[in-house]
Amino acid sequence: MALKITTEEVEGYPDVLILHLEGDLDTYTADTFREKFKELIKNYKKFAVNMERVGYVSSMGWGVLVQSIYKARRENGDLVLVNLRVSVERIFRIMGFSSLFKHFRDLDDAVRYLIKSR
């Protein structure tokens, strides 16, 4: 399934951006995310990646998310994950990504965290 990425700015916080993903983040779509993030990091530093409509994340998908969080942190920013589906969250925990990524079940909590982490 193709990956659709839409963005949402956070009013009053020009460095914070919400990314809404829909589809699978896998070998076929990782480059789509990588290229989009490469453009967005030029103007934003903190990202909440809403994954409630992502059904599957492959190792390549996790790899592009890891690359993205490191890029954001090099720019004094951050990237957090929001609304992981049960099947995706299971792999997230098995792979130990909870030590790298903050994960939120509520988008508003994720945005508040990013705003406070100035």
In this structure, what CATH number is given to the domain that contains residue 106? 3.30.750.24
Counting residues of the chain whose pLDDT is more than 90, the rounded percentage is 96
Q: Do the beta carbons of residue 10 and residue 21 sit within 8 Å? A: no
Pairing of strands 13-25, 4-10: antiparallel
Summarised one tens digit per residue, pLDDT across range 2-45 is 899 999 999 999 999 999 999 999 999 999 999 999 999 999 99
Q: Does 51 map to a domain? A: yes
pLDDT exceeds 80 at position 1 = no
Phi, psi of 49 (to 5 degrees): -100, 105
Q: Does 94 map to a domain? A: yes
How high is the mean pLDDT of the chain? 95
Range of the domain at 23: 4-112
Q: Does 117 map to a domain? A: no
Query: What span, in angstroms and rounded, lies between the C-alpha atoms of 3 and 29?
Result: 6
Check residue 66 and give its pLDDT: 97
Q: What is the pTM of this model?
A: 0.94
Query: What span, in angstroms and rounded, lies between the C-alpha atoms of 22 and 20?
Result: 7
